[in-house]
Amino acid sequence: MGNAGRNGGEYYTPRPLIRAMIKVVDPQVGETIYDGACGSAGFLCEAWDHLRTDNLSASDWDTLQRRTFYGQEKKSLAYVLGVMNMILHGIDAPSIRHTNTLTENVMDIQEADRHDIVLANPPFGGGERKEVQHNFPIKSGETAYLFLQHFMRKLRAGGRGAIVIKNTFLSNTDQASVALRKELLETCNLHTVLDCPGGTFQGAGVKTVVLFFDKGKPTRDVWYYQLDPGRSLGKTNPLNDADLAEFIRLQPDKTDSAHSWSVPVAGLDRDTWDLTVKNPNAPEAEALRAPAQIIEDMLARDAETAVILEEIRGML
């Protein structure tokens, strides 16, 4: 359930990617985990599986059951699936609310409303009513941008977030994109960006990245990892845990490799705060030929073809 699929513009997150995000964020018993666009509750269920061990005390078990996992979902079917999914995983009374997260004014969020960890893959595209956009300091018709502002404010100081978002967020030059990147870098430590390959989300026509950040300290360096499974991903060949093993191994130390590198924020353009994924270790693409050169090469091949045809004619 929720392994992959599409429902009203929402793409369900592959379980291997969810597990990798959870391993990086590393939730602990006693911390609260929140997903404000929980869908079928894939993130919350995988976080439960991550925390549930055989040696849990009765107190810890009660904490996981009652005071750890929190979600919100707008769509009725997804809400029902999410509650059912959590119950089937062993959470007796899921704390999932059937509501539109974006109708909450982010400026009204209090400390008691905040969480230690946010894990989410909010819907992108779409479009909320103008009155909903007034709940956010940075106005945007892009639903994912509104969710990102919500998640940043739902984190406690020192809290940890891992959010899936379209990769165009890193480079778009519209006012909302630039302002949101600036706020993210100045109020959070965006320590890791995981660049996912096409086909990670089955049926989605866009590429995505995962933003990993800690609330409360500005970003100094961003570590990028460009995921390359070495094959085309699709319905019969989906992302698996082995594809993410190197990322999980290198991430704690932010190690440089053929697929990973770091970028200091001090070197970013302050007008655009552009965070585009540019792997400095990738081989340079072969320079494209000039149009005049292409025409010249075509004419040369035509001349060679004419000579060969004349030779063949002479043999007839």
Considering the domain boundaries, does residue 193 fall inside one? yes
Considering the domain boundaries, does residue 273 fall inside one? no
Q: Which two tokens stand for residue 280?
A: 């400095």
Task: Tell me how many degrees the CA angle 71-63-241 measures, rounded to the nearest 5.
Answer: 60
Helix (H, G, I), strand (E, B) or coil at 187: helix
Q: Are residues 304 and 245 in the same domain?
A: no
Domain that holds residue 159: 6-267
Considering the domain boundaries, does residue 58 fall inside one? yes
Q: What average pLDDT does this structure show over 284-297?
A: 73
Beta strands in the chain (DSSP E): 6-7, 10-11, 33-35, 69-73, 95-98, 115-120, 155-166, 188-195, 208-215, 221-226, 260-264
* pLDDT tens digit sequence for 18-69: 999 999 999 999 999 999 999 999 999 999 999 999 899 999 999 999 999 9
* pLDDT tens digit sequence for 178-233: 999 999 999 999 999 999 998 888 776 789 999 999 999 999 999 999 999 999 88
pLDDT for the residue numbered 270? 94
Please name the residue ranges forming H helices in 158-197: 175-187
pLDDT band per the 50, 70, 90 thresholds, residue 282: confident
Report the alpha-carbon distance of residue 213 to residue 161 in Å, rounded. Answer: 5
Please check the confidence at residue 5 and state whether its pLDDT lies above 60: no
CB of 275 closer than 8 Å to CB of 268: yes
Q: Are residues 186 and 304 in the same domain?
A: no
Q: Are residues 74 and 103 in the same domain?
A: yes
Q: Are residues 295 and 195 in the same domain?
A: no
Q: Are residues 304 and 259 in the same domain?
A: no
Considering the domain boundaries, does residue 1 fall inside one? no
Q: Are residues 228 and 298 in the same domain?
A: no
pTM: 0.86
Considering the domain boundaries, does residue 174 fall inside one? yes
- Cβ neighbors of 161 (< 8 A, separation 6 or more) are 25, 117, 118, 119, 151, 152, 155, 188, 211, 212, 213, 214, 215
Q: Which two tokens stand for residue 125?
A: 């595209």
pLDDT for the residue numbered 2? 40
pLDDT for the residue numbered 1? 40
Considering the domain boundaries, does residue 280 fall inside one? no
Considering the domain boundaries, does residue 276 fall inside one? no
Considering the domain boundaries, does residue 283 fall inside one? no
Give how many domains the chain has, as a whole number.
2
Q: Are residues 193 and 127 in the same domain?
A: yes
Count of beta carbons in the 10 Å neighbourhood of residue 84: 14
Q: What is the mean pLDDT of the chain?
A: 91
CATH number for the domain harbouring residue 168: 3.40.50.150
Q: Are residues 75 and 34 in the same domain?
A: yes
Q: Are residues 240 and 306 in the same domain?
A: no
